[in-house]
Amino acid sequence: NAGVMQNPRHLVRRRGQEARLRCSPMKGHSHVYWYRQLPEEGLKFMVYLQKENIIDESGMPKERFSAEFPKEGPSILRIQQVVRGDSAAYFCASSPSGDEQYFGPGTRLTVT
Amino acid sequence: KNEVEQSPQNLTAQEGEFITINCSYSVGISALHWLQQHPGGGIVSLFMLSSGKKKHGRLIATINIQEKHSSLHITASHPRDSAVYICAVSRSNYQLIWGAGTKLIIKP
């Protein structure tokens, strides 16, 4: 049973471009969480999704950020018109039941 | 005051030493997590606890619900244990409240 997969592992974007981060949960897991870790800071909750539904997006910036978890395929965290302040590590976690979370390796986004 | 406090913030020890990292929290929780993050690397979930004690290899985690305190112990520490160890608590079914992390360096 493969762990949580995230890709790409490293992503470089110029200011104004779009960033798409993918998360494939563990097999059988229908709960996905996205976290952001800014340099020298701890992780911050962004959004919690179940298949085709956003359960809690209270940690998501109101503009430019969106997330989805379609019936088929990975969860996508999308950042439009990236700015330098978006540079961070983005971690995805999955859970079978909304309890214990299993983390992916993260995607390091660098905005130049 | 942070809802989850870890101590120490930094810890340097010699290979073979017994390591203890502490976590105190001030809110009601459903579970407590210990996670490990290597420099430039991803996060690995080590333990999830709601009571008692768990052991995995050289790692032991304990929790005292009444005292709102948890400890992570590493026996026979090794340089490859060098990482940041993070304590996080679950208040609802999903949102985790994170401690600031303890940076551990084990010298050979």
pLDDT at position B81: 96
What is the end-to-end Cα distance of chain B in Å, rounded? 36
pLDDT at B41 > cutoff 80: no
Q: Do A45 and B90 touch (CB under 8 A)?
A: no
pLDDT at position B92: 67
pLDDT at position A46: 93
Chain A hits for B96, CB-CB cut-off 8 Å, are 43, 45, 101
pLDDT at position B70: 98
Length of chain B: 108
Highest mean pLDDT among A13-22, A36-45, B25-34 belongs to A13-22
**Residues 61-90, chain A, touching B (beta carbon < 8 A):** none
What is the end-to-end Cα distance of chain A in Å, rounded? 36
B58-62 mean pLDDT = 97
Q: Residues near B5 by Cβ (< 8 Å), separated by ≥ 6? A: B23, B24, B25, B26, B99, B100
Whole-Å CA distances, A37 to A18, A70, B54, B70: 19, 24, 28, 24
Distance from CA of A45 to the nearest CA of B (A): 7
Length of chain A: 112
Chain A hits for B42, CB-CB cut-off 8 Å, are 91, 103-106
pLDDT at B2 > cutoff 90: no
Distance from CA of B50 to the nearest CA of A (A): 11
For the stretch A57-89, pLDDT in tens is 989 999 999 999 998 899 999 999 999 999 999
Longest dimension (CA), chain A: 38
Comparing CB atoms, the residue among A45, A103, A105 nearest residue B45 is: A103
